[in-house]
Amino acid sequence: MLEVRDLAIARGGIAVLERLSFRVGPGQALVLRGPNGCGKTTLLRTLSGLQPPLDGQVTLAADSLAYASHADGLKPTLSVTENLMFWAAVFGTGRAAVETATDRMNLRPLAARAAQNLSAGQKRRLGLARMMLTGRPVWALDEPTVSLDAASVALFAAMVRAHLENGGAAVIATHIDLGLAEAEILDLAPFKARPPSQGGSKGAFDEAFA
């Protein structure tokens, strides 16, 4: 469903990862590991098409990837249901999907509350519930479990597992163990970009001076 070949990516004009290849098929999850600043977020943004790769190829069916960033994209003055209804309308999934997502992430008791009055963990749950409204097969999740408690992490893992069982796929950048036994783990450290003097990819910054 998602294939990456020989990918090189840059953040702020400086190459961070190179020679990266992997493939994620239906029902598979890929967990990205690596130290801070190694390019996990940049990789996910490249996969979702928000920024172009330096080199290499990302093969992905059009409109098949849903991206969840660090920020949840919630509107503070809208209620939980209104926030979800907006994204359901954008992705064309409708009311029933909102109801399911509300129940699955245990947001029912908060449904009428404005997003500005939610706790950090509750906001995160609302942000993750949005993924179920996208109806897209490939999920790219950036640190999805930040500020979630153990019970919510379990809810999230169950949500991802259900998505995988329906033939979906997920790429997840995270530092904690999600309890997803089927997930494959990819350590990004070996793919760290070498300096251009040692044959590494040139960032846009280097090109400007070449």
Partner 1 sequence: MLALLTRDLRLAVRAGGGFGLGLGFFLILCVLVPLGVGPEGGRLASIAPGILWVGAMLACLLSLDRIFALDWEDGSLDLLATAPLPLEGAVAMKALAHWIVTGLPLVIAAPVLGVLLHLPVAAQPWLVVSLLLGTPALSVIGAFGAALTVGLRRGGLLLSLLVLPLYVPTLIFGAEIVRRGAEGMALATPLLLLTGVSLGSVALLPLAAAAALRINLR
Which residue in the set 19, 33, 55, 69 belongs to the binding site for partner 1 (CB under 8 A)? 69
112 near partner 1, rule: CB under 8 A = no
Provide, rounded to whole angstroms, the least separation between the CB of residue 42 and partner 1. Answer: 10
Under a CB-based contact definition with an 8 Å cutoff, are residues 161 and 180 in contact?
yes
Question: What residues between 77 and 96 interact with partner 1 by CB under 8 A?
Answer: 77-78, 82, 85-87, 89-92
18 near partner 1, rule: CB under 8 A = no
36 near partner 1, rule: CB under 8 A = no
Task: Classify 101 as helix, strand or coil.
Answer: helix
**36 or 77: CB nearest partner 1:** 77
**9 or 20: CB nearest partner 1:** 9
- What is the DSSP code (8-state) at residue 117? G
φ, ψ of residue 161 in degrees (nearest 5): -65, -45
Which residue in the set 6, 37, 57, 70 belongs to the binding site for partner 1 (CB under 8 A)? 70
Provide, rounded to whole angstroms, the least separation between the CB of residue 92 and partner 1. Answer: 7
Provide, rounded to whole angstroms, the least separation between the CB of residue 197 and partner 1. Answer: 26
Question: What residues between 165 and 204 interact with partner 1 by CB under 8 A?
Answer: none
Measured between alpha carbons, how far is 144 from 58 in angstroms, rounded to an integer? 23
**Among 9, 22, 20, residue whose Cα is nearest residue 53:** 9
50 near partner 1, rule: CB under 8 A = yes
Tell me the number of residues near partner 1 by CB under 8 A: 29
Task: Tell me how far CA of residue 78 lies from CA of 94, 110, 134, 144, 184, in angstroms.
Answer: 18, 12, 19, 22, 37
Under a CB-based contact definition with an 8 Å cutoff, are residues 172 and 29 in contact?
yes
Measured between alpha carbons, how far is 192 from 135 in angstroms, rounded to an integer? 33
In the chain, the largest separation of any two C-alpha atoms, in whole Å, equals 59
From the list 42-50, 103-111, 173-181, 190-198, the region that binds partner 1 by CB under 8 A is: 42-50
**69 or 100: CB nearest partner 1:** 69
**Among 97, 156, 69, 86, residue whose Cα is nearest residue 121:** 156
Residues that bind partner 1 (CB under 8 A): 48-52, 63, 65-78, 82, 85-87, 89-92, 130
